[in-house]
Structure 1
Amino acid sequence: MFQETTPALPATADAEPGHDESRRQFIHHAGRGLLAVGVASALPVAAAEAAAASADAAAPPVSGPLDIKLPALEAPTDPKGAQPFNPDAPERRVGYAIVGLGHLTLNEILPAFGQSKHAKPVALVSGDPEKMRKVAQQYGIKASSCYSYQTYDQLKDNPEVEVIYIVLPNSMHHEFTIRGAKAGKHILCEKPMAVSSKECEEMIAACKKAGKKLMIAYRIQYEPLNRMAQQAVRDKTYGKPKLIQMVNNQNQAHDQQWRHKKALAGGGSLPDVGLYCLNTTRYLLGEEPTEVSAQIYTTPGDDRFKEVEENVTFTMRFPSGVISQCMTGYGTFNNKSYMVHCEEGTIKMDPAFTYQGLHQERVHAPKGKQLKETPNDPQKDQFALELDHMADCVRNNKTPFTPGEEGLQDQRIMEAIYQSAKENKPVKLPAVAKIDAFRGSPPQEEEA
Structure 2
Amino acid sequence: MFQENTAFNTAFSAEAENGYDESRRHFINHAGRGLLAVGVASALPIAAAEAHKAAEAAAPPATGPLDIKLPPLEAPTDPKGADPFNPDAPDRRVGYALVGLGHLTLNEILPAFGKSKHAKPVALVSGDADKMAKVAKQYGIKASSCYSYQTYDKIKDNPEVEVIYIVLPNSMHHEFTLRGAKAGKHILCEKPMANSVKECEEMIEACKKAGKKLMIAYRIQYEPLNRQVQKLVRDKTYGATKMLQMMNTQNQAHDQQWRHKKALAGGGSLPDVGLYCLNTTRFLLGEEPTEVSAQIYSTSGDDRFKEIEENVSFTLRFPSGVISQCMTGYGSFNNKSYTVYAETGSIEMDPAFPYHGLHQERIHAPDGKQMKETPNDPGKDQFALEMDHMAECVRQNKTPYTPGEEGLQDQRIMEAIYQSARENRPVKLPAVAKIDAFRGEAPKDEA
| TM-score of the aligned structures, taking structure 1 as reference length | 0.89
**Matched residues in 2 for 1:233 and 1:140: separation?**
44
Distance 2:347 2:40 in 1: 57
Q: Contact between 2:224 and 2:445, CA under 8 Å: does it hold in 1? A: no
Note closer, same or farther for the CA distance 1:75–1:130 as it changes in structure 2 (3 Å cut). Answer: same
Distance 2:42 2:125 in 1: 52
Partner of 2:208: 208
SS at match of 1:314: strand
Q: Supply the distance in 1 between the matched residues of 2:311 and 2:329 (Cα, whole angstroms).
A: 4
1:64 Cα deviation from its structure 2 partner: 1.6
Q: Which residue does the alignment assign to 2:418?
A: 418
Q: Distance in 1 between matches of 2:257 and 2:377?
A: 34
CA displacement at 1:445 relative to structure 2: 2.3
Match of 2:375? 375
1:54 deviation in Å? 3.5
Q: Structure 1 residues 143, 365: closer, same or farther in 2, change over 3 A?
A: same
Residue 53 of structure 1, CA deviation? 5.1
Q: What is aligned with 1:128?
A: 128
- Offset at residue 78 of structure 1 (A): 1.0
The offset of 1:446, in angstroms, is 2.9
* Aligned-partner Cα distance in 1 for 2:410–2:126: 28
Q: CA deviation at 1:420?
A: 0.1
Q: Shift of the alpha carbon at 1:350?
A: 0.1
Match of 2:430, SS state, is: coil
Contact 2:222–2:443 under 8 Å retained in 1: yes
Flag the structure with larger Rg: 1
Q: Secondary structure at the match of 2:60?
A: coil
Displacement of 1:107 in angstroms is: 0.2
Code of the residue aligned with 2:251 in structure 1: it is N
Aligned to 2:21: none
- C-alpha displacement of 1:188: 0.1
Q: By how many angstroms is 1:160 displaced?
A: 0.2
Alignment partners' CA distance in 2, 1:203 and 1:37: 55
Matched residue of 1:124: which SS?
A: strand
Which stretch shows the higher mean deviation, 101-110 or 51-60?
Answer: 51-60
Q: Which amino acid aligns with 2:294?
A: A
SS at match of 2:348: strand
**Alpha-carbon distance in 2 for matches of 1:37, 1:216:** 47
* Correspondence list, 1:106-145, <5 A: 106-145=106-145
Give how far 1:57 is off.
2.3
Aligned counterparts of 2:118 and 2:388: Cα–Cα separation in 1: 5
Distance 1:248 1:150 in 2: 36
Partner of residue 351, structure 1:
351
Shift of 1:214: 0.1
Q: Show the counterpart of 1:401.
A: 401
In 2: Cα distance, 1:446 partner to 1:349 partner: 20
After the TM superposition, which of the residue ranges 366-375 and 412-421 deviates more from structure 2?
Answer: 366-375
Give a deviation string over 1:171-197, Cα, whole Å, max 9, x none.
000000000000000000000000000
SS in 1 for 2:177: helix
Q: Report the residue type matching 1:350 in the other structure.
A: D
Q: Residue by residue, what CA displacement relative to the aligned partner does 1:353-374 show, whole Å, maximum 9, x if unpaired?
A: 0000000000011111111101
2:180 and 2:392 map into 1 onto residues whose CA distance is 19
What runs of 5+ residues in structure 2 fail to find an aligned partner?
1-38
| Aligned match of 1:254 | 254
Cα displacement string for residues 247-304 of structure 1 (whole angstroms, at most 9, x for unaligned residues):
0000010001000000000000000000000000000000000000000011122100
Secondary structure in structure 1 of the residue aligned to 2:436: coil
Map of 1:271-282 to 2, 5 A cutoff?
A: 271-282=271-282
Residues 1:93 and 2:93 are matched in the alignment = yes
SS at match of 1:358: coil
Matches for 1:141-160 after TM superposition, within 5 Å: 141-160=141-160
Partner secondary structure for residue 414 of structure 2? helix
> TM-score, normalization: structure 2?
0.89
Q: Structure 2 matches for 1:10-21, cutoff 5 A?
A: none
SS at match of 1:239: coil
Distance of aligned partners of 1:134 and 1:52 in 2 relative to their CA distance in 1, 3 Å threshold: farther
Give 1:184's aligned residue: 184
Amino acid at match of 1:200: C
Q: For residues 384-403 of structure 1, what are the alpha-carbon distances to aligned partners after superposition, in whole Å with 9 as ceiling and x for unaligned?
A: 00000000000000000000
Name the residue aligned to 1:298.
298
Task: Identify if the C-alpha distance between structure 1 residues 152 and 367 changes in structure 2 by more than 3 Å, giving closer, same or farther.
Answer: same
Task: Find the counterpart in structure 2 of residue 444 from structure 1.
Answer: 444
Match of 1:240 in 2: 240
Return the alpha-carbon distance in structure 2 between the equivalents of residues 43 and 402 of structure 1: 56
| Residue in 1 that maps onto 2:431 | 431
**SS of 2:160 mapped into structure 1:** coil
**What letter is aligned with 2:383?**
F
> Shift in Å at residue 377 of structure 1?
1.1
SS in 1 for 2:415: helix
- SS of the residue aligned with 1:367? helix
Residue 59 of structure 1 deviates from its aligned partner by 1.3
Q: Structure 1 residue 136: deviation in Å?
A: 0.3
Q: In 2, distance between residues paired with 1:188 and 1:196? A: 18
Structure 2 equivalent of residue 315 of structure 1: 315
Partner in structure 2 of residue 342 of structure 1: 342
Q: Distance in 2 between matches of 1:81 and 1:323?
A: 40
Query: SS where residue 441 of structure 2 aligns?
Result: coil
Query: For 1:37 and 1:87, how far apart are their aligned partners in 2?
Result: 25
Look up the SS of the partner of 1:178 in the other structure. helix
- Match of residue 27 from structure 1: none
| d(CA) in 2 for partners of 1:54, 1:413 | 63
How many residue pairs get matched? 409
What are the Cα deviations for residues 23-51 of structure 1, in whole angstroms up to 9, with x where unaligned? xxxxxxxxxxxxx979855649xx95x66
My pick for the range that moved more, 93-102 or 76-85, is 76-85
Deviation readout 1:103-129 (Å, 9 max, x if unpaired): 000000000000000000000000000
The Cα offsets for residues 62-114 of structure 1, whole Å up to 9 and x where unpaired, read as 23211111111112221110010000000000000000000000000000000
- What is the root-mean-square deviation of aligned Cα atoms in Å? 1.5
* TM-superposed deviation, 1:55: 3.6
Q: Residue in 1 aligned with 2:325? A: 325
Matched residue SS, 1:121: strand
1:245 match: secondary structure? strand
SS at match of 1:114: helix
Distance 1:37 1:317 in 2: 66
- CA distance in 1 between counterparts of 2:52 and 2:283 reads 52
